[in-house]
Protein backbone atom coordinates (compact mmCIF):
# COMPACT_ATOMS: atom_id res chain seq x y z
CA UNK A 1 0.00 0.00 0.00
CA UNK A 2 2.57 2.51 -1.10
CA UNK A 3 2.81 5.56 -3.28
CA UNK A 4 5.55 6.52 -5.68
CA UNK A 5 5.66 10.14 -6.74
CA UNK A 6 7.66 11.23 -9.78
CA UNK A 7 8.28 14.75 -10.92
CA UNK A 8 9.68 16.16 -14.14
CA UNK A 9 9.72 19.45 -15.98
CA UNK A 10 8.09 18.74 -19.35
CA UNK A 11 8.86 22.22 -20.65
CA UNK A 12 10.48 25.11 -18.82
CA UNK A 13 8.07 26.00 -15.94
CA UNK A 14 5.62 23.22 -16.95
CA UNK A 15 5.77 20.36 -14.46
CA UNK A 16 4.38 16.84 -14.44
CA UNK A 17 3.74 14.93 -11.23
CA UNK A 18 3.07 11.21 -11.69
CA UNK A 19 1.45 9.06 -9.03
CA UNK A 20 1.78 5.29 -8.80
CA UNK A 21 -0.05 3.26 -6.14
CA UNK A 22 -2.29 4.66 -3.46
CA UNK A 23 -2.92 8.23 -2.40
CA UNK A 24 -4.42 8.04 1.09
CA UNK A 25 -3.97 8.85 4.77
CA UNK A 26 -0.81 6.77 4.88
CA UNK A 27 0.90 8.30 1.84
CA UNK A 28 -0.42 11.82 1.21
CA UNK A 29 2.62 13.53 2.76
CA UNK A 30 4.76 12.30 -0.13
CA UNK A 31 2.64 14.28 -2.59
CA UNK A 32 2.55 17.23 -0.20
CA UNK A 33 6.34 17.35 -0.12
CA UNK A 34 6.55 17.10 -3.91
CA UNK A 35 4.08 19.96 -4.32
CA UNK A 36 6.21 22.09 -2.01
CA UNK A 37 9.29 21.27 -4.10
CA UNK A 38 7.54 22.06 -7.38
CA UNK A 39 6.13 25.36 -6.18
CA UNK A 40 9.53 26.54 -5.02
CA UNK A 41 9.96 27.16 -8.77
CA UNK A 42 8.10 29.46 -11.10
CA UNK A 43 5.21 27.29 -12.32
CA UNK A 44 3.32 28.10 -15.52
CA UNK A 45 1.62 24.71 -15.83
CA UNK A 46 1.03 21.60 -13.72
CA UNK A 47 0.03 18.19 -15.00
CA UNK A 48 -1.03 15.42 -12.63
CA UNK A 49 -0.60 12.05 -14.30
CA UNK A 50 -2.87 9.48 -12.62
CA UNK A 51 -2.34 6.58 -15.03
CA UNK A 52 -0.96 4.32 -12.32
CA UNK A 53 -2.97 5.59 -9.38
CA UNK A 54 -5.01 2.67 -8.03
CA UNK A 55 -6.71 4.18 -5.00
CA UNK A 56 -7.61 7.57 -3.58
CA UNK A 57 -9.38 8.58 -0.38
CA UNK A 58 -10.54 11.94 0.96
CA UNK A 59 -7.04 12.68 2.21
CA UNK A 60 -5.72 12.10 -1.30
CA UNK A 61 -8.42 14.36 -2.71
CA UNK A 62 -7.35 17.06 -0.27
CA UNK A 63 -3.87 16.95 -1.78
CA UNK A 64 -5.22 17.18 -5.33
CA UNK A 65 -7.37 20.17 -4.31
CA UNK A 66 -4.29 21.71 -2.72
CA UNK A 67 -2.43 21.25 -6.01
CA UNK A 68 -5.30 22.97 -7.84
CA UNK A 69 -5.19 25.89 -5.40
CA UNK A 70 -1.44 26.27 -5.73
CA UNK A 71 -1.71 26.21 -9.53
CA UNK A 72 -4.46 28.81 -9.49
CA UNK A 73 -2.43 31.04 -7.17
CA UNK A 74 0.39 30.85 -9.74
CA UNK A 75 -2.05 31.52 -12.58
CA UNK A 76 -0.96 28.18 -14.04
CA UNK A 77 -3.29 25.75 -15.84
CA UNK A 78 -3.86 22.53 -13.91
CA UNK A 79 -4.34 19.33 -15.92
CA UNK A 80 -5.31 15.82 -14.92
CA UNK A 81 -4.28 13.00 -17.25
CA UNK A 82 -5.15 9.31 -17.57
CA UNK A 83 -7.59 9.01 -14.71
CA UNK A 84 -8.66 5.42 -14.02
CA UNK A 85 -12.42 4.74 -13.68
CA UNK A 86 -12.36 4.03 -9.93
CA UNK A 87 -10.44 7.25 -9.32
CA UNK A 88 -12.76 9.24 -11.57
CA UNK A 89 -15.74 7.89 -9.59
CA UNK A 90 -14.34 9.38 -6.38
CA UNK A 91 -13.71 12.73 -8.08
CA UNK A 92 -17.25 12.74 -9.44
CA UNK A 93 -18.83 12.03 -6.03
CA UNK A 94 -16.79 14.91 -4.61
CA UNK A 95 -17.64 17.05 -7.67
CA UNK A 96 -13.94 17.83 -7.81
CA UNK A 97 -13.06 17.28 -11.45
CA UNK A 98 -11.30 20.29 -12.92
CA UNK A 99 -13.90 21.31 -15.48
CA UNK A 100 -11.84 22.16 -18.56
CA UNK A 101 -8.71 20.17 -18.05
CA UNK A 102 -9.15 16.41 -17.78
CA UNK A 103 -7.29 14.63 -20.56
CA UNK A 104 -6.96 11.06 -21.69
CA UNK A 105 -3.35 11.40 -22.78
CA UNK A 106 -0.22 13.29 -21.93
CA UNK A 107 -0.03 14.54 -25.53
CA UNK A 108 -3.49 16.13 -25.25
CA UNK A 109 -2.49 17.88 -22.05
CA UNK A 110 0.75 19.09 -23.57
CA UNK A 111 -1.14 20.42 -26.55
CA UNK A 112 -3.56 22.25 -24.24
CA UNK A 113 -0.66 23.79 -22.35
CA UNK A 114 1.12 24.80 -25.56
CA UNK A 115 -2.04 26.47 -26.89
CA UNK A 116 -2.47 28.46 -23.71
CA UNK A 117 1.14 29.56 -23.82
CA UNK A 118 0.83 30.52 -27.48
CA UNK A 119 -2.29 32.61 -26.77
CA UNK A 120 -0.58 34.28 -23.84
CA UNK A 121 2.28 35.25 -26.15
CA UNK A 122 -0.21 36.52 -28.74
CA UNK A 123 0.81 33.98 -31.37
CA UNK B 1 -0.94 -3.05 20.23
CA UNK B 2 -1.12 -5.83 17.68
CA UNK B 3 -3.80 -6.15 15.08
CA UNK B 4 -6.02 -9.08 16.00
CA UNK B 5 -7.66 -10.94 13.17
CA UNK B 6 -10.35 -13.27 14.40
CA UNK B 7 -11.79 -15.99 12.20
CA UNK B 8 -15.37 -17.05 12.62
CA UNK B 9 -15.30 -20.77 11.84
CA UNK B 10 -19.08 -20.80 11.51
CA UNK B 11 -18.90 -18.11 8.86
CA UNK B 12 -15.72 -18.12 6.76
CA UNK B 13 -16.92 -15.02 4.98
CA UNK B 14 -16.49 -12.85 8.04
CA UNK B 15 -13.45 -10.95 9.23
CA UNK B 16 -13.03 -9.30 12.63
CA UNK B 17 -10.12 -7.02 13.39
CA UNK B 18 -9.23 -5.07 16.50
CA UNK B 19 -6.68 -2.28 16.32
CA UNK B 20 -5.36 0.37 18.66
CA UNK B 21 -6.47 3.95 18.09
CA UNK B 22 -3.13 4.84 16.58
CA UNK B 23 -2.69 5.92 12.99
CA UNK B 24 0.13 3.42 12.47
CA UNK B 25 -2.53 0.68 12.72
CA UNK B 26 -4.71 1.99 9.92
CA UNK B 27 -2.64 0.64 7.04
CA UNK B 28 -2.52 -2.83 8.58
CA UNK B 29 -6.29 -2.83 8.99
CA UNK B 30 -6.81 -1.73 5.39
CA UNK B 31 -4.44 -4.44 4.15
CA UNK B 32 -6.28 -7.08 6.18
CA UNK B 33 -9.65 -6.03 4.76
CA UNK B 34 -8.27 -5.88 1.21
CA UNK B 35 -6.73 -9.35 1.59
CA UNK B 36 -9.96 -10.78 2.96
CA UNK B 37 -12.09 -9.30 0.17
CA UNK B 38 -9.60 -10.63 -2.38
CA UNK B 39 -9.74 -14.12 -0.86
CA UNK B 40 -13.53 -13.97 -1.09
CA UNK B 41 -13.39 -13.00 -4.77
CA UNK B 42 -15.06 -9.62 -4.34
CA UNK B 43 -14.78 -7.45 -7.46
CA UNK B 44 -12.13 -4.75 -7.27
CA UNK B 45 -14.52 -1.83 -7.65
CA UNK B 46 -16.61 -3.05 -4.71
CA UNK B 47 -13.51 -3.79 -2.62
CA UNK B 48 -12.31 -0.26 -3.40
CA UNK B 49 -15.48 1.21 -1.84
CA UNK B 50 -15.28 -0.99 1.25
CA UNK B 51 -11.61 -0.17 1.86
CA UNK B 52 -12.37 3.52 1.35
CA UNK B 53 -15.09 3.31 4.03
CA UNK B 54 -12.70 1.56 6.43
CA UNK B 55 -10.12 4.29 5.93
CA UNK B 56 -12.56 7.17 6.31
CA UNK B 57 -14.44 5.81 9.34
CA UNK B 58 -11.36 4.63 11.24
CA UNK B 59 -9.47 7.85 10.49
CA UNK B 60 -12.43 9.81 11.81
CA UNK B 61 -12.50 7.78 15.02
CA UNK B 62 -8.77 8.20 15.57
CA UNK B 63 -8.74 11.92 14.80
CA UNK B 64 -11.87 13.11 16.53
CA UNK B 65 -13.07 10.32 18.81
CA UNK B 66 -10.72 10.75 21.72
CA UNK B 67 -9.25 13.54 23.75
CA UNK B 68 -7.21 11.47 26.17
CA UNK B 69 -3.94 9.62 25.70
CA UNK B 70 -5.26 6.30 26.91
CA UNK B 71 -5.16 3.28 24.63
CA UNK B 72 -8.49 2.49 22.98
CA UNK B 73 -9.59 -0.30 20.70
CA UNK B 74 -11.37 0.15 17.39
CA UNK B 75 -13.17 -2.93 16.08
CA UNK B 76 -13.72 -3.53 12.38
CA UNK B 77 -15.91 -6.31 11.10
CA UNK B 78 -16.55 -7.23 7.47
CA UNK B 79 -19.20 -9.81 6.66
CA UNK B 80 -20.23 -11.04 3.23
CA UNK B 81 -23.91 -12.00 3.34
CA UNK B 82 -25.00 -14.90 1.20
CA UNK B 83 -27.72 -13.01 -0.62
CA UNK B 84 -28.31 -12.34 -4.30
CA UNK B 85 -26.68 -10.00 -5.08
CA UNK B 86 -24.13 -10.47 -2.32
CA UNK B 87 -24.20 -7.80 0.36
CA UNK B 88 -21.14 -6.74 2.27
CA UNK B 89 -21.67 -5.33 5.74
CA UNK B 90 -18.94 -3.27 7.35
CA UNK B 91 -19.20 -2.52 11.06
CA UNK B 92 -16.84 -0.08 12.77
CA UNK B 93 -17.07 0.29 16.52
CA UNK B 94 -15.16 2.63 18.82
CA UNK B 95 -15.54 3.86 22.37
CA UNK B 96 -14.94 7.51 21.51
CA UNK B 97 -17.19 10.52 21.93
CA UNK B 98 -20.73 9.98 20.65
CA UNK B 99 -20.75 10.88 16.99
CA UNK B 100 -23.38 10.12 14.40
CA UNK B 101 -21.85 10.38 10.91
CA UNK B 102 -25.31 11.26 9.59
CA UNK B 103 -24.99 14.56 11.47
CA UNK B 104 -21.79 15.54 9.68
CA UNK B 105 -22.30 18.72 7.66
CA UNK B 106 -22.47 18.34 3.90
CA UNK B 107 -19.22 19.61 2.40
CA UNK B 108 -19.16 22.38 -0.18
CA UNK B 109 -19.63 20.63 -3.53
CA UNK B 110 -20.74 23.66 -5.51
CA UNK B 111 -17.78 26.04 -5.55
CA UNK B 112 -15.03 25.46 -8.09
CA UNK B 113 -12.75 22.77 -6.64
CA UNK B 114 -9.78 25.12 -6.45
CA UNK B 115 -11.81 27.69 -4.48
CA UNK B 116 -13.21 25.36 -1.83
CA UNK B 117 -12.43 24.99 1.80
CA UNK B 118 -10.58 21.69 1.92
CA UNK B 119 -12.11 19.05 4.16
CA UNK B 120 -15.27 17.22 5.13
CA UNK B 121 -15.28 14.91 2.12
CA UNK B 122 -14.59 11.60 3.84
CA UNK B 123 -18.02 10.82 5.24
CA UNK B 124 -19.66 12.22 2.12
CA UNK B 125 -17.71 9.69 0.05
CA UNK B 126 -18.72 6.83 2.34
CA UNK B 127 -22.42 7.78 2.21
CA UNK B 128 -22.46 8.23 -1.55
CA UNK B 129 -20.40 5.16 -2.41
CA UNK B 130 -22.34 2.71 -0.25
CA UNK B 131 -25.91 1.43 -0.20
CA UNK B 132 -26.60 2.65 3.32
CA UNK B 133 -25.09 3.92 6.53
CA UNK B 134 -26.63 3.41 9.96
CA UNK B 135 -25.46 4.55 13.35
CA UNK B 136 -26.25 3.55 16.89
CA UNK B 137 -24.83 4.49 20.23
CA UNK B 138 -24.58 1.54 22.59
CA UNK B 139 -22.79 3.01 25.59
CA UNK B 140 -19.89 3.39 25.58
CA UNK B 141 -19.65 2.52 21.90
CA UNK B 142 -20.33 4.20 18.59
CA UNK B 143 -21.36 1.59 16.04
CA UNK B 144 -21.45 2.48 12.35
CA UNK B 145 -22.85 -0.06 9.92
CA UNK B 146 -22.28 0.42 6.20
CA UNK B 147 -23.68 -1.87 3.51
CA UNK B 148 -22.44 -2.47 -0.02
CA UNK B 149 -23.91 -4.54 -2.86
CA UNK B 150 -21.72 -6.45 -5.25
pLDDT > 90 fraction of chain B, expressed in percent and rounded:
75
Whether the pLDDT of residue B120 is over 90: the answer is no
- Domain spanning A3-121 has what CATH number? 3.30.750.24
pTM, to two decimals: 0.92
pLDDT tens digits, residue range A35-72? 999 999 999 999 999 999 999 999 999 999 999 999 99
Nearest CA to A35 out of A76, A3, A5 is that of A5
- A29 near B CB under 8 A: no
Residue B1: per-residue pLDDT = 44
Strand ranges (E), chain B: 4-7, 14-20, 73-81, 87-94, 132-138, 141-149
Whether the pLDDT of residue B7 is over 80: the answer is no
Q: CB–CB of A26 and B27 under 8 A? A: yes
Q: Domains of chain B: which residue ranges?
A: 14-149
Q: CB–CB of A93 and B45 under 8 A? A: no
Distance of CA A13 to the CA centre of its chain: 14
Q: Tell me what the pLDDT averaged over chain A comes to.
A: 94
Residue B10: per-residue pLDDT = 64
With contact defined as beta carbons under 8 Å apart, do B125 and A90 qualify?
yes
**How would residue A122 be classed by pLDDT, with cut points 50, 70 and 90?**
confident
Q: CB–CB of B118 and A95 under 8 A? A: no
pLDDT tens digits, residue range B20-37? 999 899 999 999 999 999
Handedness of CA B55, B58, B61, B63 (dihedral sign): negative
Nearest CA to B143 out of B70, B68, B67, B89 is that of B89
Percent composition of chain B: helix, strand, coil (DSSP 3-state, to 5):
35, 30, 35
- A104 near B CB under 8 A: no
Q: Domains of chain A: which residue ranges?
A: 3-121
Helices H / strands E in chain B, number of each: 3, 6
- For an interface test with A, the pick among B114, B116, B124 (most A C-beta atoms closer than 10 Å) comes out as B114
Residue B72: per-residue pLDDT = 96
Q: What is the mean pLDDT of residues B119-143?
A: 95
Q: Report the CATH architecture of B14-149.
A: 2-Layer Sandwich (3.30)
> Which of B44, B56, B114 lies at the smallest CB-CB distance from A58?
B56
Q: How many residues does chain A have?
A: 123
- A68 near B CB under 8 A: yes
Residue A98: per-residue pLDDT = 79
**How would residue A3 be classed by pLDDT, with cut points 50, 70 and 90?**
very high
**Residue B117: beta bridge partners?**
none
Inter-CA distances, A20 with A29, A83, A110, B32, B98, Å: 14, 12, 20, 21, 37
Q: CB–CB of A86 and B45 under 8 A? A: yes
Handedness of CA A36, A40, A46, A51 (dihedral sign): negative
Cβ-Cβ contacts under 8 Å, B51 against chain A:
55
**How would residue A87 be classed by pLDDT, with cut points 50, 70 and 90?**
very high
- For an interface test with B, the pick among A29, A56, A79, A94 (most B C-beta atoms closer than 10 Å) comes out as A94
| ipTM of the prediction greater than 0.95, yes or no | no
Q: CB–CB of B26 and A26 under 8 A? A: yes
pLDDT tens digits, residue range B47-106? 999 999 999 999 999 999 999 989 999 999 999 988 878 899 999 999 999 999 999 888
Residue A93: per-residue pLDDT = 95
Amino acid sequence: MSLQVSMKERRPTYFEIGLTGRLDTNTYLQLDRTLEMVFENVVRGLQLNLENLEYISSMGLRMVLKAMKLAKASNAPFMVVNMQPQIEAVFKVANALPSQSVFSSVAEADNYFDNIQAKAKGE
Amino acid sequence: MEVYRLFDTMNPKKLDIEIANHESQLETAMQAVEGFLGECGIQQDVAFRVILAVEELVTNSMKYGYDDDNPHTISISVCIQDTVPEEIVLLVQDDGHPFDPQDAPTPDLESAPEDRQIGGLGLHLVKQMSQGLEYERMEPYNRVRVTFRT
